[in-house]
Structure 1
Amino acid sequence: MSENVKTVFIPSSQESKSGMFGKEKPTDEVDGAALARQIETVCNGLVDSGYQITQVMPVTSGGNNYKNGVGYGYGYGYTSGVIVIASIV
């Protein structure tokens, strides 16, 4: 089976901070510079292998926080990675 189309998921790296009780908690802050370097590396590798990049799509995830009884809650989204789509030239 030939691979005329190739997709690659590149997860974004997220920082973690220590919580109040010493547990690691993700901050949902994406390191954009690191993600850009990963995209560049993957795209260059695909082009060197004879593929043409046709699309780079962000993958958005979400989260929420709600304090029961306090009366507030909020939701938010962040880029959890990208999907690179390439095809044989």
Structure 2
Amino acid sequence: MMMSQNNPPGWGAPGVGQRIEEAIELIEMELRHAIAYMNDAVIPQVRKESISAMRVAADTLRSLADRFEQQGSRAASQPPNPPKGPQP
């Protein structure tokens, strides 16, 4: 007994496979363009902005460390304050 195949209309028609191949080629070409754009434009810009942001953060941390150091120097040179509480 042989089973009949019920394929949708146009299935396997000449040209469908070729159109699919052309679509795949176009998709691959667009992907190559997108990858090239990422590599040539986006990544260098992100790298540049990241370096700039890290330098700003480093400067801010350096200033903060300087302030802590100055406050520590002043605190070490001042005599301690006696505790303020109930005195006997």
TM-score normalised by structure 1 residue count: 0.27
* Structure with more relative contact order (C-alpha pairs < 8 Å, separation 6 or more): 1
Larger-Rg structure: 2
Larger fraction in helix: 2
TM-score normalised by structure 2 residue count: 0.27
